Amino acid sequence: MKIKLLMYLAFSFSLLSIGNTTLAQRTNTFTLQRSVPLKSSLKELEKKFNVHFNFNDQLIERYQSGPLHVENGTVEDCLRSLLQKTNLSFRKLDANTYSIFEDKTKQSKFVVRGLVLDASGAPLRNASVKELGGAAATESDNQGQFEIEVSDSKSKIRVSHVSFQAIETKLDTARAKASANGIERLTIILNTKDQLIDSVTVVVNSGYQKLSKERSTGSFSVVKGSQLAEKSGSMNVLDRLEGLTPGLAVNYGEGNDKMLMRGVSSVNLSRKPLVVLDGVPMAEYNDIESLVNPQDVQDVTMLRDATAASIWGAQAANGVIVITTKSGNFNSEGVKINYDGFVSLRGTPSYDYMNRMSSSEFIDAAKGIMLDPAYVNAFPLSTVNSSGYPKIYPHEQLFYDLNAGLINDASANRGWDSLSVLNNRAQIEKYFYSPSLLTSHNMNFSGGGKVNRFYSSVSYNRNNKYDKSSKDRFTVSLKEEWNLSPRLNIDLTANMAYENYNTNQMSYPMGLDDYTPYAMFADASGNALDQSYLYLTETARQAAISKSKLPLSYVPLNEEGNLLNNNKNFVGRVNAGFRLGLIDGLNWSSRAQFQKGFDKGYSFANDNVYRTQLEKIQFTANPTVAGGNPTYYLPIKGGEYSTQDNRNTSWTFRTQLDYEKKINELHQLTLLAGFESRNTIYDIQRTYTKGYDFQTQKYSSFDQKFLESTGVSNPVLSSSSRGVGNSILAYIPLQNAESELRFVSFYGNAAYSYDNRYNFNGSLRYDQSNLFGKNSSSQNKPIWSTGLSWNIHNESFFTAADQTKLTLRVTYGIAGNSPKPGLGGPYDILYAVNDQRFEGLGTGYIIISPANNQLVWEKTNTFNAGIDFAFLQNRISGSLDFYDRQTSNLLGERPVDPTTGWSSSFGNLGDLYNRGFELGINTRNISKEDFQWSTNFNIAYNKSKITKLKNYVSPNALNTVSKPFVEGYSAFSLLAFQYAGLDQNGNPQVVKENGEKISFTRDLELQDVNYEGTTQPLVYGGMTNTFNYKNVGLSFLLVYNFGHVMRQELNNVFSGRIQQNLSREFDKRWKQAGDEAITNIPKYIPSDSQSENDRAITFYNYADANVQSASYLRLRDVTLSYVLPKDLIRRLTLERVRIYAQANNILLWTKNKDNIDPEYYNLASGYRVPKMPAFYTFGLNLNF
């Protein structure tokens, strides 16, 4: 019995012991999301495992713990992890009790957590962090953060990066938050080695992924936001890229494609590069200027070749511009506040640049023409007055009075002399121009803690233009990012822009520069003068007033106050994404963006505006009996009111997986695959109302059907172009249009590197669009690319690796382009017509584009070979690229069999190519402590050719000579005839291909058209020099465009009445026999009835003798800045104050002989536009 009792007790005790042991040794998951005091962690651990810890509070309170994650661990596993980076150890006292004590034998370790940034505050990835004299080493992550365990709190660490100057820091002198076991916040700022465009850039940001330069095979370049912020010439961030990067042509000439990357890839579709903002394509170029404040830009990456850009698929044929906006910094010390503001004084255009005659020159020229007997034979007064809209200018009235014997020669000459001394140039500049002024104010706030960071900004700018129009813009942006755990990152960006335009839109009878030079707009007292003679003779005008009993007068200076034009534009976007680490190296990310914009505007012309008065009289019937009342068919009170409401809505969704793995420090693999969907809807509405009262916002009705179909018979003045017949109203009170563009895409990309020497990139993408319907042969066109690079400097045989970097690259791939909505597709495109003449018959439809089931994408194949280099420890660095772009299946109107009922349809019509090279070089010429001088130089060459083009009109010499795209020649070609001068009668001649001299266009053949060049520069680029001496900075940017041509500005008056100002070239025309030896300008003849076959003025207009070089070089800007000494601003609680002054467009060299500025000129047509003078900007930067 006793034995049994003892056995029972022993068994029970053993069960109890086993139970207690099991309780203490059971496993659990223990997680700390963030760094917390060690004491708090131990208390939480006690509760989770039902154990007790003995420790000294003073000993424990020195230490932090976490973040930490132990999966299915025992209490002892958790203790080891908690105490790993301390001088503490533990021992087990009994089953549920542990003692924590200071271990003298345990080697002390010091943990440093920090952040690596570049000079602009952007996080740097893959920066190397090493303990000097120790073995500890690590790299910064995607957010620039790092953690390293060093042997001592007095250690020295070295932070380096391939593209930045290394820095060494003593931990005990570091400005950071220190604790007993580490530094919690150490910020390291690295300066770039060239301080300009970083040709050996940290990462390639394609918008889908970031890949280090060492591993990239593509052709790209990066412009830092700090460079763009200093360019005050434009508020458009894209304009500020001019001259800063190779391969991007920025053209300011009238009628030019403003921005091209590596030439032209389409002849009828958009040729603009795709713009990507924070990882999402922007549907509208105008939204870039509205939404993106240049001060908020972190950097801009240009993706030029197929490997760099093909991930964007059918949108990337024209190149890709990736804009990344600024973010805040994790673990920042408080909130950073920055202000940037400037005022830019821009003056008014120079009227002299327009090359028009003075009043005395004009009167002399007009007298010489009118006093020729042939003139009165061509334009007798009876013929002039019989016109539906007779008009006689003051200088002509003197001639007709003289011819009729109403005045003598002396009186006529006195009249002409009085006109010749009048000059309206000063009044044009006073009343029609206003000094242009641009003001800008920007303020941003940034900061962050251990888990989140933020960046927000507000900006306001006002642009008062020289033509008295104005634009106010207000923008707000917010960017937030949260690291919720080591595996989960979430970000959110929101932008809003509101713009208000007021446009000065005076109803000129012609261009402002075409008024006669003696036409004064105000008298000596400033009273506005009537110029109704521009439209009607005084006799005809008074007759119209008498019959209609309505006012009719044109006073230019009164038009401005009676015409109202306003547009309000709003655009907003929300961009959100997350990145989740699934397993080591594998991440899942998604991004969505919603964007909404509208452009609402109105135009109102009240009944004091000439065009409103005229239309009312045109739709007024004459009295049926003498002295009777007229009949009014339009409201006689109120004005014309029109509105527009343009709306666009777009959304983008993308989800992808990416995987990155390093194996044995030799192999590095990066993979991504994803899906993307985009949808954009455009909605347009127009309204038009007559008889509108702007104050009451009411309008009067009228019989629209009658006026559109029958019209007004016996009107006071007819609305027809000949001025006779019934007045018919062309009136559409309401218009609506909607178009939708949808894309669905599947894509993948792979990058493999071996030993940091050999790199391979490849991408594949499928795009599908609603523009091609369900036609699988058209839809399923894979877009792909592949590339290889070799980092020669990492080879063992390369002995100068510490001084020289050398990488060879070669890539090949395909990109594409799709048609615009409404241009063409596999189905008939209809246009609804609602005509009052067919009321009751329902809506009619017109086929504006017949179906084409053979329609396919434009396809661009690009081969690229390049070299990246850096010498003398990056004192000289850059890249050189050669490319060959072949575009096939160009889209546009092409000829079809006329028996189909169509002469042409939208389809694939040709091929073209672009070939060229790009070179960018950065140098650090002088790098002293107090003085630095650096240079950035870039140059690009592009040659294009249209190799095949099906024209929908049968080509001949006359319809070919003016075309910009012609088979066999460069894109934007300028064609001409071989000019043979004038014959003995002052008429132009040309030489045919066979050497025959001809004077008539009927003798021309297609082969008689000669290629003179292209209006697109063949060679273009820029050079920036930057000097810094202590606190003073000086920089200047030179831009150049060479190798292109333009048509010379020509006299365009060869017959007819002289009723506008003339080019000074008019006086150099052929006037008498023998002048053909001294001039090429054809003679003037009064009658314009001579046909082109009798006198080929076209020969002169398109003569090769009138083609000039358009090459030029311009000093775009010079900037002088000064940073105030810190001792001076410290008491103001400011960190940095910078003041600057900038001068723009102060020097120009051109190759042409006529003082033509190609940036204020239409190169293809040969005419000038108002030229702005040099302008000056004064700015202030404050950092709080």
| pLDDT tier for residue 103 given thresholds of 50, 70 and 90 | confident
Number of residues in the chain: 1184
Same domain, 230 and 249: yes
Question: Residue 203 pLDDT > 70, yes or no?
Answer: no
How many domains does the chain divide into? 3
Question: Residue 454 pLDDT > 80, yes or no?
Answer: yes
- What 476-479 contacts at long range (C-beta under 8 Å, 24+ apart), as own/partner pairs, is 477/293, 477/296, 477/325, 478/454, 479/325, 479/326, 479/327, 479/328, 479/454, 479/455
4 belongs to a structural domain: no
The number of C-alpha atoms within 13 Å of 686 and in the hemisphere containing its C-beta is 7
| pLDDT tier for residue 844 given thresholds of 50, 70 and 90 | confident
42 belongs to a structural domain: yes
516 belongs to a structural domain: no
Question: Residue 537 pLDDT > 80, yes or no?
Answer: yes
245 belongs to a structural domain: yes
Same domain, 221 and 323: yes
Query: Cα–Cα distance between 973 and 944 in angstroms, integer?
Result: 10
Same domain, 168 and 119: yes
| pLDDT tier for residue 761 given thresholds of 50, 70 and 90 | very high
Same domain, 62 and 127: no
Question: Residue 386 pLDDT > 80, yes or no?
Answer: yes
Query: Cα–Cα distance between 1122 and 95 in angstroms, integer?
Result: 71
Same domain, 51 and 120: no
Same domain, 250 and 314: yes
CA dihedral 317, 321, 327, 330 (to 10 degrees): 70
pLDDT in tens, 218-246: 888 899 988 898 888 788 899 999 999 99
Span of 313-327, 424-438, 796-810 with lowest mean pLDDT: 796-810
303 belongs to a structural domain: yes
Question: Residue 783 pLDDT > 90, yes or no?
Answer: no
CB atoms under 10 Å from CB of 493, counted, come to 22
Same domain, 88 and 117: no
Cα–chain center distance at 1016 = 19
Question: Residue 786 pLDDT > 90, yes or no?
Answer: yes
pLDDT at 196: 31
Query: Cα–Cα distance between 1150 and 1154 in angstroms, integer?
Result: 9
| Mean pLDDT of the chain, nearest integer | 86
pLDDT in tens, 1041-1051: 999 999 999 99
1056 belongs to a structural domain: no
pLDDT at 178: 47
pLDDT in tens, 1111-1168: 999 999 999 999 999 888 877 788 889 999 999 999 999 999 899 999 999 999 999 9
Q: In the listed set 131, 156, 190, which residue is the last one of a domain according to the structure?
A: 190
pLDDT at 12: 38
Task: Please tell me whether the overall predicted TM-score, pTM, comes out greater than 0.85 for this model.
Answer: no
Same domain, 90 and 114: no
708 belongs to a structural domain: no
Which backbone phi and psi does 314 adopt, to 5 degrees? Answer: -70, -5
Q: What's the whole-number mean pLDDT along residues 48-60?
A: 85
Q: Tell me, what CATH number does 84's domain have? A: 3.55.50.30
Same domain, 98 and 127: no
DSSP element (H, E) containing 777: helix 776-779
Residue type for position 183: I
Domain residues for the domain of 325 are 212-329
Q: What's the whole-number mean pLDDT along residues 340-356?
A: 90
Q: Tell me, what CATH number does 151's domain have? A: 2.60.40.1120
* Residue with tokens 């002396």, as numbered in its chain: 410
Query: Cα–Cα distance between 997 and 994 in angstroms, integer?
Result: 9
| pLDDT tier for residue 202 given thresholds of 50, 70 and 90 | very low
Which backbone phi and psi does 1002 adopt, to 5 degrees? Answer: -65, -20
Which backbone phi and psi does 1030 adopt, to 5 degrees? Answer: 55, -115
DSSP 566-626: EEEEEEEEEEEEEEEEEETTEEEEEEEEEEEEEEEEEEEE-TTSHHHHHHHHHTEEPPSST
Q: In the listed set 58, 86, 102, which residue is the last one of a domain according to the structure?
A: 102
531 belongs to a structural domain: no
Q: Tell me, what CATH number does 323's domain have? A: 2.170.130.10
Same domain, 306 and 222: yes
Question: Residue 19 pLDDT > 60, yes or no?
Answer: no
Question: Residue 184 pLDDT > 60, yes or no?
Answer: no
For the chain, the distance separating the N- and C-terminal CA atoms, rounded to the nearest angstrom, is: 89
Tell me how far CA of residue 864 lies from CA of 761, 798, 806, 1027, in angstroms.
13, 25, 17, 35
Q: What's the whole-number mean pLDDT along residues 274-279?
A: 90
* Residue with tokens 């494609």, as numbered in its chain: 257
pLDDT at 1174: 94
Question: Residue 6 pLDDT > 50, yes or no?
Answer: no
Same domain, 308 and 271: yes
Question: Residue 14 pLDDT > 60, yes or no?
Answer: no
Q: In the listed set 102, 122, 143, which residue is the last one of a domain according to the structure?
A: 102
Question: Residue 1014 pLDDT > 70, yes or no?
Answer: yes
Same domain, 157 and 98: no
